[in-house]
Amino acid sequence: MLGVNDNKLYSNLLIFKFKNFSLEYPEEIREILAYSENSGDLKELEILNTLGKCDYKKVFILGLGTTEEFNSVKLMRALGSAVKSIKNSIEDLDILDNLREDFGYNIGQVLELSLYKFKGIKQKEINVKLQKVNVISSCKDEISKGFIVGNSVNFVRNLVSLPSNYVTPKYIAQQAENIAKEGNLDIKIIDKYMLEQMGMNAILYVGKGSLHSPRLVALQYFGDSSSKEITAIIGKGVTFDSGGITLKPGKGMENMVSDMAGAASVLGTMKALSKLRPKKNIIALIPTVENMPSGNAYKPGDVITTYCGKTVQVISTDAEGRLILCDAIAYAKELGATNIIDIATLTGSCSQFLGGINAGLLSNSDELANSIINTGKEVGENFWRLPNNPEYLEQLKTDSADLKNSGTSCGAIVAGLFLESFAEDVNFAHLDIAGCAGSASGSDLYDAGATGMPTRTLIELLMK
């Protein structure tokens, strides 16, 4: 249970300490600090047993470094690492917030993110011991907004971690309906039969091999009737990717349940924005399919007429994400989007050369690309811009169609340019999160597992 109150509730206390600046503390806490050896270095955590000298049993002193170098990202790293280190050793905690008001937003996020634990599908749940946290603060609104963002990111992390026999295209659509109902958003679920009538053949072809019918989910939030600016966020929703006829190796294929992380991040973004209510116009599109081999599956060599009329020759059925996204991009243009951002676990090549440190970014707009990169830095998520020279598209030329769905090298760049060709003159950014959607080792904020990236960046970008 997380909350914000003006006074003490629990038996343990966490306070902040700078290396070069003295914060204000209650008198009884100042007396306890006389026994402290904490120098204030970033992430330095000291535990003092009060021996009855104040109302708290233990006081946790957390270093924040120097004020000159301090920022919201460092606060989140320090507080996240502290909460992670103590969350299975104590049952309750007060946190004294005596920082600037705007840092309350970050405190709220950190508590949600660092206390989260994926519970799996187990007969007996194993929960985090620290269940009661109270922030002693007058900044209730900012901290509560942080709770909303952190909770939405945890929704993403949970959805990405669930197995594909639970998370099907139908399940994705149901989650979108729940968010729409809860947040009073407009929603349209375009099912298989409507996709056929509309000519969304790329989405249909990828889903042909599965017993689970494909869908295109459309959520709308219009918060500024005076503006013609509309941002479309599009998430790849492949609930399981076997590779199709171009079958992936068996080793590690169980991890392909997370190939819908882009879709999950879009859902989480809309979940948060429906509560934060920015003055923006936003369309969220989620093409969701299962990519399976069968007698009905699409095949290498097939030529697909996409929604916008362009034809695509299939070289690899394992290059399926760009196919479902290209139909959604064309639909976003039809709906009037002036900015389009797609989010996808798209290519292994991006994961290999950027790892889990940066997500790949390809864009035809310097302004949009810089906005994403700078917003990412503000929240601690990193993006590396890829080149988009038209020469890379030479790899996608074919006599059989307007373009192929796979090239021979520079996979992440070529895949991004494939998608950019469907956006044409609309401001477009492609985020390849293949290496960043999950973490084997975790971080200061997260346990190992799904990260929810780039949900926080998207929320901040759309709140500005």
Collapsed DSSP state (helix, strand, coil) of residue 282: strand
Q: Is 248 an active-site residue?
A: yes
Collapsed DSSP state (helix, strand, coil) of residue 277: coil
Q: Please measure the distance between the N-terminal and C-terminal CA atoms of the chain and give it in whole angstroms.
A: 30
As a whole number of angstroms, the distance between CA 167 and CA 238 comes to 10
As a whole number of angstroms, the distance between CA 317 and CA 102 comes to 48
Q: Are 433 and 384 a contacting pair, CB within 8 Å?
A: no
Residues shown for the chain: 464
Residue among 43, 53, 248, 377 flagged as catalytic: 248
Residue among 19, 87, 215, 322 flagged as catalytic: 322
Q: Is 279 an active-site residue?
A: no
Q: What is the DSSP string of 301-340?
A: T-EEE-TTS-EEE-S-TT--HHHHHHHHHHHHHHTT-SEE
Provide the residue type at 80 as one letter.
G
Q: Are 96 and 79 a contacting pair, CB within 8 Å?
A: no
Count CB-CB contacts under 10 A for residue 302: 18
Q: Which residue has the tokens 């924005």?
A: 273
Name the CA radius of gyration of the chain, rounded.
Answer: 24
As a whole number of angstroms, the distance between CA 113 and CA 148 comes to 11
> Which residues are annotated as catalytic?
248, 322
